[in-house]
Chains A and B, each alone.
Chain A
Amino acid sequence: EPEVTQTPSHQVTQMGQEVILRCVPISNHLYFYWYRQILGQKVEFLVSFYNNEISEKSEIFDDQFSVERPDGSNFTLKIRSTKLEDSAMYFCASSEVRESGELFFGEGSRLTVL
């Protein structure tokens, strides 16, 4: 069964460092997303991406965040200067259809900022 894969599964970094989280969406999906979940909290939308540009971003997705599809398979989330409050599980998701809530999530990348 096709799946969304994410790397790394866990990353520990120092405050102020740059982090790149990587995702390989399902191959025939065209819409890509990043969500995050702070421990014990709700899943929160960060950004959606289609046709090599951001479709929508939330208030959380400020200037320290960026997304990129550097090649035909990878989809990345970069956090330029990490803060303690960026510690969370980051989920990549993809869908076949735009404006669809039928998302396929990856297993997540746990980011710990010290």
Chain B
Amino acid sequence: AQSVTQPDIHITVSEGASLELRCNYSYGATPYLFWYVQSPGQGLQLLLKYFSGDTLVQGIKGFEAEFKRSQSSFNLRKPSVHWSDAAEYFCAVGNTGGGNKLTFGTGTQLKVEL
């Protein structure tokens, strides 16, 4: 069965600093990978997705992620963090058996210091 690991539960960065959130997946074939962001009391918003092709994926709000098959990783990055980026970030993998089921990691809570 597929699984996703986000090793960092909490991360604190200063505004303007760079950010990298880690994600490792377990999947038997070419994965469909996603990063979502959740603000307090809200649903999830898609930041970016990887299906195939270019391993560096650009998303909304200045985020990007790089798919590395050899490391089973899909880390999320942003060159300069803004205070409004404080939220919880979830990495997810699409279902092996078809359909739209997503398997999520446990999430990384990002705090931004001003």
- Same complex for A and B? Answer no
